[in-house]
With several copies, the nearest count.
Chain A
């Protein structure tokens, strides 16, 4: 019970702040917390990056294997994105296979990468119909203070730009080659709190909101993914303005790659 009361108090506080045009930490509505990107920290991985957005901390690792293509795309490599919301990162995360939040997180990151064609799947084909690179993007949440999707998407793209395909280890080439990256989709997420839109919601803000919108935009400004989450509704007219802000904020985040 006391837990419930506490979280209600916190929700009220956030709500009043935002109604007054204010925000925890004194941030502006479209201002991100400090963002840091550290690449190449896992030597065993083909690529890796750790991203912190405020206290949110995410590690993405890339592993590559040789395998068979899907029957209906024999000349294309495969990307598999997986997210582990390990219980180390939050008291609300539990052991066991990914629940719907983990599945959604991984799929939103995955679709942003696919939609933007950031990785040319045809280039991952070694022998059409039988031998392609399978790229695993594994997202490991380490500390959860909100906005996991933006942190995860940024860590995944940073790790991909840091990836070298192990041609030598798999005996399919004489030199290892950097993974070719053709676009840099960036996810930006906002929450609606009492009718106000704030970007990069921290965990307390997420708990005070019942609607979030993640928009992934490309280097050229195109949209390569959208996902509305939460049991709320968004006025039709708000959408295009959110997309505009997302595009602008993505431009800033992209510089961190």
Chain B
């Protein structure tokens, strides 16, 4: 692995030139796959993430069916070549946890009771990783759900915030994630201000935590606009076809 840079932040400027509360360039495209019912591709800084949605379809195996509502499956998966040291294929404890909290981050906006006995299956592939893959995945999955026409109350937007060189920073890059002091992924329903994912690793004072939370809110608002735009573009494109 590369060595720790001497400084992560120089005079308020981060390694990639951003300020503390700026986000990386984000490119969102909806409807990029043919087989899936809905899909989304995001390039977010150095992250390249693909999300696909299948369903609502019959939940299987049958004993998983819920007679009152649809179940959600969420699979976060890193491609072997997405990180510097090859990742062994298959789920590990980290991806099991991420899949769980991501599923719970999206559940609040889905009208699950419309589709009893069904399953809504969300697959997120991390093709290239550069910190913030779980929040990029949730953001992509949210667009893919909308692209699949799944009834939703709202979009969910997600972003990571954390601490590096003692400063609260929005949208960590890999170096800040590896050598920083805290990482806090957040997902929100931007319109209502409700939080649907909140995790924190590392150490934050209360003051830093409040600041981080506010940074995250601001970040999610930016992400939300890009998500909406990608869906509009997809709609316009499908109309013009």
Contacts and interface: CB of A to CB of B under 8 A. Distances in A.
Interface of A: 41-45, 48, 55, 57, 59, 61-63, 65, 72, 82, 84, 86-91, 95, 97, 100, 103-104, 106-107, 111, 114-117, 136, 138, 140, 142-145, 169, 213, 218, 221-237, 239-240, 243-244, 247
Chain B interface mostly = mixed
B99 A115 contact: no
Contacts of B127: 42, 59, 140
Contacts of B206: 221-223, 240, 243-244, 247
A87 B81 contact: no
Interface residues of B, number: 66
Contact of B34 (A42, A55, A87): A55
A154 to B, nearest CB: 17
A203 to B, nearest CB: 9
A33 B83 CA distance: 32
Chain A interface mostly = mixed
A61 B194 contact: no
A235 B33 contact: no
Interface string B120-160: 01011101110000000000000000000000000000000
| Complex A-B, nearest 10 residue pairs according to Cβ-Cβ distance, in ascending order | A61-B81, A231-B107, A226-B200, A63-B86, A88-B123, A233-B194, A45-B81, A88-B52, A138-B80, A228-B198
A109 B203 CA distance: 14
B148 to A, nearest CB: 12
Contacts of B129: 44
B79 interface: yes
B128 A42 contact: yes
A234 B192 CA distance: 10
A229 B90 contact: no
Given A103-B93, A103-B96, A140-B127, A89 B79 contact: no
Contacts of A57: 33-34
Contacts of B107: 231-232
A236 B193 contact: yes
Given A91-B35, A107-B93, A222-B203, A232 B108 contact: yes
Given A42-B48, A87-B123, A226-B200, A138 B81 contact: yes
A227 B128 CA distance: 26
A91 B57 contact: yes
Interface in B62-97: 75, 77, 79-86, 89-90, 93-94, 96-97
8 contacts: A61-B79, A84-B77, A87-B121, A103-B100, A104-B97, A116-B203, A145-B35, A232-B108
Contact of B82 (A42, A114, A231, A243): A42
A247 B206 CA distance: 10
A63 B81 contact: yes
Nearest to B197: A228
Contact of A104 (B34, B54, B100, B204): B100
Interface stretch (B10-18, B19-27, B209-217, B229-237): B209-217
A70 to B, nearest CB: 10
Contacts of A72: 1
Contacts of A87: 54, 75, 121, 123
Nearest to A72: B1
A138 B89 contact: yes
B80 A61 contact: yes
Contacts of A237: 193
Nearest to A237: B193
Nearest to B200: A226
A63 to B, nearest CB: 4
Contact of B128 (A43, A84, A100): A43
A88 to B, nearest CB: 4
Contacts of A65: 85-86
A89 B35 contact: yes
Given A87-B123, A103-B97, A234-B194, A145 B128 contact: no
Nearest to A92: B35
B8 interface: no
Nearest to B109: A233
Interface string B176-209: 0000001010001100111111111111111001
A111 B200 CA distance: 9
Interface centre among A84, A86, A239 (most CB of B within 10 A): A86
